[in-house]
Structure 1
Amino acid sequence: MQYDQRHHLTETRAMDESLLHQGLDLMLFGMLTVVLFLSLLVLATGTLSALVRRFAPRVPAPAPAPAAPRGSAPPGAPSPAVVAAITAAVARHRQTTSRHKEHP
């Protein structure tokens, strides 16, 4: 009976060590695969970048845009009426907020 228990423990321990060894092997294989793939990706990117710089046609720099006349708003800027409305709203908000701070 005692032999059977020792034999069972030895088999269990051997199986656990085997599973641990297989897990470590798999982890090492996976990590090496990732490092190898990333290294190849870096090399390929560098090589393609060098090829593009060497063989791609030169693109001339774009001409600067003509300056807008002074006093005109840049494109996409709000109109003067909108700016006035925002200014009035901010002033009113500050007035009402300051009243609440004075009288708790």
Structure 2
Amino acid sequence: MEATLIDQGLDLMLFGMGTVFTFLTLLVGVTHLMSMVVNKIAPAEPDALAGALPLNTSGAAIDPRIAKVIQVAIDKHRAR
């Protein structure tokens, strides 16, 4: 009696794992296909202004004390 319960449990486990594997494989394939179709219909255009923006947009000077604190924090992090 135990052998049949173990067999049934293994069958159910393999069926469930196979179902999940099949679904995820299908999902990845459909997502890849959809990505290819969307890129053919509307290809992505590079953003011309992405590198043109200055890092400090406020126009105010950075306080040297804050810059020093940030530098110390970066140095401590890199020292780990």
Which structure is higher in helix share? Answer: 1
Report matched runs for 1:1-104 at 5 Å.
15-56=1-42, 59=45, 61-63=47-49, 65=52, 74-75=56-57, 79=61, 82-83=63-64, 86=65
- 1:26, 1:45 → 2: CA distance? 28
| Structure with bigger RCO (C-alpha 8 Å, 6+ apart) | 1
Structure 2 gaps, min length 5: 70-80
For residue 43 of structure 1, what is the amino acid of its counterpart? G
Task: Return the index of the structure with the highest Cα Rg.
Answer: 1
User: What is the TM-score when the length of structure 2 is the normalising length?
Assistant: 0.61
Alignment size in residue pairs: 67
- For 1:77 and 1:35, the matched residues in 2 are separated by 54
TM-score, scaled relative to structure 1: 0.49
Question: Aligned with 1:27: secondary structure?
Answer: helix
Q: Please identify, of 57-66 and 46-55, the stretch whose mean Cα deviation from structure 2 is larger.
A: 57-66
Calculate the aligned-residue CA RMSD, in Å.
3.3
Percentage identity across paired residues of the two chains: 40
One-letter amino acid matched to 2:31? T
